[in-house]
Chains A and B, each alone.
Chain A
Amino acid sequence: MYKNVSIRYALDWTTIFLYVALILMGWVSIYGASYNFDQASIFDFSQRAGKQFLWILTAFAIGGVLLLIDAKMYNIFAYFIYVGAVLLLFATIFLAHDIKGSRSWLVLGPISFQPAELAKMATALALAKYMSAYNYKLKTWKDLVPLGLIIFIPFILIIFQNETGTALVYVAFLLMLYREGMNGIILLIGTFAVALFITIIKLSIVPIQVDRGTLGMVLGMAFILLIQVGYAVFYCKNQKEALILLLGTLVIGAASYVLNSWFYLNYNYVAIFTVVASCIYWLFVELFNRYRKYWFLILFSLGSVLFSFSADYLFSNVLEEHQQVRIKVLLNMDNAPLGAGYNVNQSKIAIGSGGFWGKGFLNGTQTKLKFVPEQDTDFIFCTVGEEHGFLGSTLVLFVYWLLLMRILRMAERQHDPFSRVYAYCVASILFFHLMINIGMVLGIMPVIGIPLPFFSYGGSSLWGFTILLFTLLRLDAARSER
């Protein structure tokens, strides 16, 4: 049965081609972003582009070494690598110097390295190993707990390093879990929670009748009621109950409006009362008709009410001030062009000024004039947008899309669940980085400082992503060795 296929033929050269293409485009963009007129060579090692060239060469070397390791080793050593990475993360909290509040960089002579970049790959390996165990099935909540732990330990350690953005990347594993059998409702509830949060926060500044509640809360509650109606009509095929619910809501709404002429009623509480009343109604429907279908709806509604209550609290008490500001900027609640929204505003102008064709290589004024901060790391996509316009930006996005689709395809052709789970982890991580980073630059995601894979300046992240990807390539190359 054992077949030893030469790696030259088994290797997925398409992925390598896309990888090299992205790295080269990134390198050129870094050169453009840090270009300042007087020195011109892209190989000037005192400049960022020159340094990136060194990182690229070392990354290729690392990739090559990874391909030489026997694929079985990754499976065998998965837990060791994970434990090692966790210990390294833990040690980093104490060893690292404080760089702008973050304690995540280990300095070894001339090289600074972020262990958090390595931890992503280690976590992916550990997850793959655990989930590929014989007879493992992701079915009940109980199956999720150990996985949650594997994800949570590095997550919380990275939070302690003050790298909230990097820690958030671990949310991406949900996508892989979904593929492996996690109930899709979790993704839906997550999406709903984000929508509810945005509605409540964004509209919490819009008052109703001066001081009688906020539009955010009332709309949020209306949102929940609407989902109840939809659930009743489409899932339970029970239009009568839905109608009663709608009528009840209208009656309570109208009554409170009329009462408000004489008394002081806060619509926020009226709305919450309505949702709670609807839950009691569903409870009766459930008990008297023995439908056994509405438990989930009741739990969901009450959970949402609790979440809405805590959203405000969460926002103003748990989030730090700069995080609040970033969300406000995103929701257009804080508009000063020189205030907190400056970065995003500048990056939008830089990209917007690129037009269709772009201004041409090295001709971008926005990025050259250093209007855009962090223009060679987190905001690197600005340079592409400004100098290469819609055409260039779309091309870059397209190459990323090709890469993601290629990885998904690789994932599905694996016979071994270990490799498949790992491949989905890689796809999820790359996708999450791409979504957050470019979303941030385009002003549709909050400012979360995580790099654009293969593009942003910096050895640590480039190595991290290279290790992530080449491990997958090695596993994939061994797919027919059985």
Chain B
Amino acid sequence: MINDTLQNRRYVISIIMSAVIVVYILRLFTIQIIDTKYKNGADSNAFLKKTQFPPRGLIYDRKHTLLVYNKPAYDIALIFREIHDLDTIAFCKALNIDKQYFLNRIAEIKDYRKNPGYSTYTPQIFMTQLGIENIATIQQSMYKYPGFYIQSRTLREYAFHTAAHVLGSIGEVSQTKIDNDDYYKQGDFAGRDGIEKTYEEQLRGEKGVEILLRDAKGRIKGKYENGKEDIAPKAGQNLTLTLDVQLQMLAEKLLTGKVGSVVAIEPSTGEILAMACSPSFDPSILVGRQRSKNYMQLVNDPTKPLINRATQALYSPGSSFKTLQALVLQQMGGINEHTLFACNGPETYPIKCTHHHGSPVNLLSAVQESCNPYFWNAFKVTVEKNGYGPRNINFRTTYDEWVNRVKSFGLGEKFTDSDIYEQSRGYIPTQKFYNKVYRSEKGWRAITIRSNSIGQGEILATPLQMANLMCAISNEGRYISPHLNKCDSMLKKVHYCKVDKKYFPIVFEAMWRVFEYGTARSSKIEGIDMCGKTGTADNSHGKPHSVFVGFAPRVHPKIAIAVVVENAGYGSTYAAPIFSLLMDQYLKGKITRTDLEERTINTVTNSNVQER
């Protein structure tokens, strides 16, 4: 029954098993007793991996002026296990903190809920982002406080106190971010908004590691293998922005005392030259230890300075929308340049005209004079061109086409391929929206949505979108997504608008006439062919918003600008001078009309806006 010849194999198997166990015991003997690499005498070694923070990438403007750089800062860390004989009073005095603060901090660190990474063996951050002046005293006496360490890191420093919203800020990473990205550890800093957020991965560089050896009592015994395995931190990549810092500062200065924003873009490249909004703040107040205090102040400010109005605030584009309307309505075949409509001035029904001009008007004069009845009639004729049809089907299809063409100019959606972190999508009302509001597909007609014809009502756009609209028009139906990083890859993001080139000249002519004969006469700069359009956007919060959009020169435009001043009044009175002064600065390199500059700066439309 039992195969006897095979029985001897039990010994082979026993020997194999025993041999492996003997080999393992020998191996244990080697690494536990013979090899000193793994231990020092009876003590043990432990790695202490000390993070070496890389300097964050620098930020330059388009002319390679340094905007943002780094300054050294210090953290105080502690390891509870190593603290002994602490003279709390002296320690607090050296750090210039009171004892209560010290006790609160210790309690916070030990609280598992607030500090899930708590361990008495590993370094815990006690105080963070101290300047050299804060630690000067304690640095020399650090040896008196075993268990406390100084770690260096860097803080942002700003060469110009400008462009806070564009640049964004850096803050401590949140727990969700730590969970989602292995790179971050508790207490690390990362870009929270603006450019610092979008380009976090380029700017942050790569953390390095210094490997130190520690004995069982936690004392540092020196570097592991003389630093052979240390990893040097890799500095972040520098970033060149498309901003022109001079123009940016001027824009912010011109917005003093007002609520509003300015966006300037180079039409041929989509590069944002300036993106200012007011109220704003000095970016350097959100750095270091005073960050949280100042941040709370900004949050509580009723004028909401933390909002990047240039990309997030929504306005009715008002009459400036008529430039686009003229293009789209021509393209859809509702009108041509010879189409005439009557205008009875203020008595016109259903939309009155606020300007005085002859009647009937043609398209050119209608844009130039901003004639509301003309655009209402033109819009009606266009969207009703195929009649209404059963269940409004023809009308709704025509309306969809209109929406589609309008959106092709970058309105109604975010610029998803752009590098601007905070954006609103604006609003171009869709068929679905109206079906819902009027509770059926037949519940609405051209007359119901008449305010769309003149850029009021449900149509909303951000200043960024308005400026981009000017780029698209000045390029005869083509734009590159507006962006902030000056690099070639961004230039590939070209979009084509759904209006043919042949419809543009008449709009150029009309916008040029606005400066030559129309509402912006007084803002013209001698020797430059400028194109523009005022807008006076009615709204429910008081005086209308003053809007001005345009570009210059008329041929081969170098800059397109949108200016919005909230609750100020006529577009020509408040927004147009700002537009004109910015043109002056960018195209001529300096401002010649200093009296106009001073007057504009001193114009206050909102007394709540504080200087920061």
Contact = CB atoms under 8 A, between A and B. Distances in A.
B42 interface: yes
B7 interface: yes
Contact of B121 (A175, A179, A365): A365
A352 interface: yes
Contacts of A404: 17
Interface in B185-216: 209, 211, 216
Contact of B13 (A178, A352, A397, A435): A178
Interface of B: 1-3, 6-7, 9-10, 12-14, 16-18, 20-21, 23-25, 27-29, 31-33, 35, 37-39, 42, 44-47, 49, 119-122, 209, 211, 216, 224, 229, 231
B38 A369 contact: no
Contacts of B209: 338
B32 A355 contact: yes
A353 B33 contact: no
Given A336-B229, A369-B46, A371-B46, A442 B32 contact: no
Nearest to B230: A338
Contacts of A394: 25, 28
A337 interface: yes
Contact of A397 (B10, B16, B25, B231): B25
A162 B24 CA distance: 29
A427 B16 CA distance: 12
Given A355-B39, A417-B1, 16 more contacts: A179-B6, A179-B9, A184-B12, A351-B31, A355-B32, A356-B32, A365-B216, A366-B46, A370-B119, A386-B44, A404-B17, A408-B10, A408-B14, A412-B7, A415-B2, A420-B2
Interface of A: 36-37, 137, 175, 178-181, 184, 336-338, 346, 348-349, 351-356, 359, 365-366, 368-371, 385-386, 389-390, 393-394, 397-398, 400-401, 404-405, 408, 411-412, 415, 417, 420, 424, 427, 431, 434-435, 438-439, 442, 444
B229 A337 contact: yes
Given A37-B120, A369-B121, A442-B28, A355 B10 contact: no
Contacts, number: 127
A412 B11 CA distance: 11
Contacts of A354: 32, 44
B32 A351 contact: yes
B229 A442 contact: no
A439 B28 CA distance: 10
Among A338, A349, A353, A389, residue most surrounded by chain B Cβ atoms (within 10 Å): A353
A442 B24 contact: yes
Interface residues of B, dominant DSSP:
helix
A353 B38 contact: yes
Contacts of B229: 336-338
Given A179-B6, A365-B216, A442-B31, A431 B46 contact: no
Contacts of B47: 337, 346, 349, 371
16 contacts: A349-B45, A351-B28, A351-B31, A352-B37, A355-B33, A356-B33, A369-B46, A370-B119, A371-B46, A397-B25, A400-B21, A417-B1, A424-B13, A431-B20, A442-B28, A442-B31
Contacts of B231: 338
Contact of B21 (A336, A386, A397, A415): A397
Given A356-B33, A369-B121, A181 B46 contact: no
B31 A348 contact: yes
